């Protein structure tokens, strides 16, 4: 008597057929980046001090959509915050503020070949823990993708976003990045561990009664001080007052000019120190070394971190926060 062989189904073997990862109907969200070179620079910046890059979607936040990067070092000595404007397509509204973390040493090789004419699309699917990344040429959208990759998300508890607006700055110094990098390089060459930043307000009185009537001209001297055994140096920038706020938290914006002695506006000079903080040199030097923006804005406030802001075009920017030098570091 012939015995029929049992039929074994895929369910019995627990085998699931592969699904098309390119389906446009099952992704939770899609990010379209039209400036991949800037994204590559941003991730490279984070890699200098951190092994992971934390991304957070921001969808239609007061008319702005893009990805935010909030990365803080484990010792809380430095942090990188960025707002990177891009297009976000949300399929599941519950994921409009999704958060994910990627290893920088894995992500950078995937972005290395990206050029200015390329476009990056990043996807998240409901049944996968990976982020899918596609690149294609902006001028050949109908052609095949140049690359298609996936990268594993790192298991980490979602963090509450930290807003640097919580830190009120008293002073803002806009300075040429080239000049600042020269100062930092010189300090490194002198084997300095830290750099001290001071701001002094000078009032040049135009007559002998001016100091009583406040009829004078205010200028500011910004000094970058550093030194090592047997050597000390101070780089001076002089600036006139540009804007003031009459609110309780006064903000003074400075635009340093050329290095050198200021012109004399009178025989009487009143000088008051309004800022004096010291910061470790290494993180500032490493993070700024490969930045190529023309200017950097330094936000200064006594007893608070130094915040360096770089504009990346459009509504995108990078903010780097550096904590003060600890007493235990010489």
Q: Which domains does the chain have, with CATH numbers?
A: 27-152 (3.10.150.10), 166-322 (3.70.10.10)
**Residue 99 pLDDT > 50, yes or no?**
yes
Under the banding of pLDDT at 50, 70 and 90, the label for residue 196 is very high
pLDDT bucket at 236, cuts 50 / 70 / 90:
confident
Mean pLDDT of 106-123: 91
* Most trustworthy range by pLDDT among 5-14, 46-55, 217-226: 46-55
Q: What is the mean pLDDT of residues 93-104?
A: 90
Q: How far apart are the first and last CA of the chain?
A: 93
pLDDT (0 to 100) of residue 211: 44
Which range, of 98-102, 127-131, 305-309, averages the lowest pLDDT?
127-131
What mean pLDDT do residues 247-255 have?
A: 54
Q: Is the pLDDT of residue 214 over 50?
A: no
Work out the average pLDDT over 40-50.
Answer: 88
If you average pLDDT over residues 140-162, what whole number do you get? 71
pLDDT value at residue 272: 86
Q: Would you place residue 254 in the very low, low, confident or very high pLDDT band (cuts 50, 70, 90)?
A: low
Q: Which residues contact 128 (CB under 8 A, 6 or more apart)?
A: 21, 150
Q: Could you give phi then psi for residue 156, rounded to 5 degrees? A: -160, 145
Of 129 and 305, more confident: 305
Burial class (CB in 10 A: 0-12, 13-18, 19+), 26: middle
Side-chain half-sphere of 169: how many Cα atoms within 13 Å? Answer: 18
User: What pLDDT, on a 0 to 100 scale, did the predictor assign at position 209?
Assistant: 47
Residues 6+ apart with CB under 8 A from 257: 237, 238, 239
pLDDT of residue 75: 81
Residue 285: closest CA among 190, 162, 149, 150: 190
Q: What does the pLDDT read at residue 249?
A: 47
Least trusted range by pLDDT, from 96-110, 166-180, 234-248: 234-248
The percent of residues in the chain predicted with pLDDT above 90, rounded, is 35
Instruction: Say if residue 172's pLDDT is above 50.
Output: yes
Residue 308 pLDDT > 80, yes or no? yes
The pLDDT assigned to 257 comes to: 52
Predicted pLDDT of residue 238: 76
Mean pLDDT over residues 5-23, rounded?
44
pLDDT band at 132 (very low <50, low <70, confident <90, very high): very high
Looking at residue 161, what is its pLDDT? 52
- Give me the residue label for tokens 């802001």: 309
Determine the pLDDT at residue 318.
92
pLDDT for residue 7: 46
Top mean pLDDT of 98-112, 168-182, 238-252, 263-277 is at 98-112
Read off the pLDDT of each residue in 251-277 and give the average, rounded to a whole number: 61
Mean pLDDT of 44-62: 87
For residue 186, give both structure tokens: 């010189």
253-257, 280-284, 304-308, 311-315: least confident range: 253-257
Least confident of 67-71, 240-244, 312-316, 320-324: 240-244
């Amino acid at each position: 008597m012939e015995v029929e062989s049992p039929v074994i189904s895929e369910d019995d073997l627990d085998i699931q057929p592969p699904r098309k990862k390119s389906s446009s109907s099952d992704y939770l969200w899609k990010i379209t980046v039209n400036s991949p070179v800037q994204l590559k620079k941003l991730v490279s910046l984070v890699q200098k001090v951190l092994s992971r890059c934390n991304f957070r979607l921001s969808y239609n936040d007061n008319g702005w959509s893009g990805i935010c990067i909030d990365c803080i070092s484990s010792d809380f000595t430095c942090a990188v915050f960025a707002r990177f404007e891009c297009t976000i397509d949300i399929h599941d509204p519950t994921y409009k503020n999704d958060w994910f973390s990627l290893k920088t040493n894995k992500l950078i090789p995937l972005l290395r070949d990206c050029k200015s004419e390329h476009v990056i699309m990043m996807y998240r699917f409901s049944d996968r823990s990976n982020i899918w990344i596609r690149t294609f040429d902006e001028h050949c959208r109908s052609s095949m993708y140049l690359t298609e990759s996936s990268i594993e998300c790192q298991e980490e508890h979602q963090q509450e976003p930290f807003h640097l607006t919580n830190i009120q700055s008293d002073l803002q110094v806009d300075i040429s990045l080239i000049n600042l990098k020269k100062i930092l390089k010189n300090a490194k060459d002198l084997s300095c561990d830290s750099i001290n930043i001071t701001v002094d307000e000078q009032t040049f009185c135009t007559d002998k009664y001016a100091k009583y009537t406040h009829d004078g001209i205010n200028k500011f001297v910004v000094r970058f001080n550093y030194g090592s055994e047997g050597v000390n140096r101070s780089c001076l920038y002089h600036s006139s007052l540009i804007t003031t706020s009459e609110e309780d938290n006064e903000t003074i914006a400075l635009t340093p000019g050329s290095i050198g002695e200021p012109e004399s506006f009178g025989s009487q000079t009143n000088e008051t120190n309004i800022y004096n903080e010291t910061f470790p040199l290494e993180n500032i030097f490493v993070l700024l070394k490969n930045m190529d923006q023309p200017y950097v804005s330094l936000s200064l406030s006594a007893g608070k971190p130094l915040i360096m802001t770089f504009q990346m075009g459009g509504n995108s920017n990078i903010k780097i926060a550096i904590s003060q030098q600890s007493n235990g570091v010489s």
